[in-house]
Every structure is written in C-alpha cells, then in structure tokens.
Amino acid sequence: MIELKFRIYLEDTDAGGIVYHANYLRFMERARTELLRAAGLEQSATFTEDVSFVVHTMKLQFHSPARLDDIVIVTADVSATRGASFVVAQEVRAESGSVHCSAEVSVACIRLSDQKPRRIPEQLLNSLKQGNERPQ
C-alpha cells in the first residue's frame, strides 16, 4: 500500500477552479510508479528490460473536487494479481479523509519490444502479492 502526499498547483487546475479531471490519472500513475518501485522495479528500467506495464482498464468515480493549494493524498493498493496483470485500488483524497476520486485500475504486463502481453517477472509478482495483498 503506497501513499503519496502533495500539493495541488495551478498547473493541476482548470477554469472551473477545480482540479482538471484527467489530472487525477497523473496523480494515480505517480502512486502506481512508487508501488512498482517499492516492489523492486525502476520505471525507467521497464524500457530497457523488455518489460513494461500499461493500463488496460480503469473505472473512475469522481466525488468532490480538489482545489488549488489543497494537500491531497494518493493511494495505490494491489487488490488482485494474475500472471500477466494486476489490479490496483486507488484513491485521491483530502487529509480530512473525504475522497476526491477513486479508481479500480487493471494494469497489464507487456513486452516493450512488441507490445504483447507477457508474464510478470516472478520476483516482482511475489513482491506485489506480499507487500500489498491482504490475507483473507
């Protein structure tokens, strides 16, 4: 389970005075990157080792908007792992706990060379399982 905390800057907002909706995806990707890093993968390494991760599907719910100068917390929590993909539950929320945006993100492992699905490297898969999946 990863938690990042950062501030909302002008770049993140739109003329409605709130965070532009697509930017929550940028925030969530930052947390997924740290999730993979914590599991042993440098993002830049994905481009040299013929393993890459791409978002396959996303279900997004937008709740109350975040605004300029807000501090937000972005979480990423592996909720399921399969051989060639994993699912991440994510939230962008205020320090008060109120949720700005929640998502279920399915991430597929591919070979960078031909963009075809491939198995997640064993060690990485184990790290994703251990560090993140809750015992039943």
| Residue that is written with structure tokens 């251990």 in the block | 130
Nearer to a second copy (CB atom), residue 3 or residue 130: 3
Closer Cβ to a second copy, 94 or 133, answer by number: 94
Q: Which is nearer to a second copy, 38 or 62 (CB)?
A: 62
Active site residue 14: yes
Measured between alpha carbons, how far is residue 52 from residues 6, 64, 111, 124 in Å? 26, 33, 6, 12
Residues that bind a second copy (CB under 8 A): 9-11, 13-18, 20-23, 25-26, 29-30, 33, 42-44, 47, 52, 54-62, 64-65, 67-69, 112, 115
For residue 81, the minimal CB distance to a second copy (Å) is 19
Q: How far is the CB of 40 from a second copy (least distance, A)?
A: 14
Which residues does the annotation mark as catalytic? 14
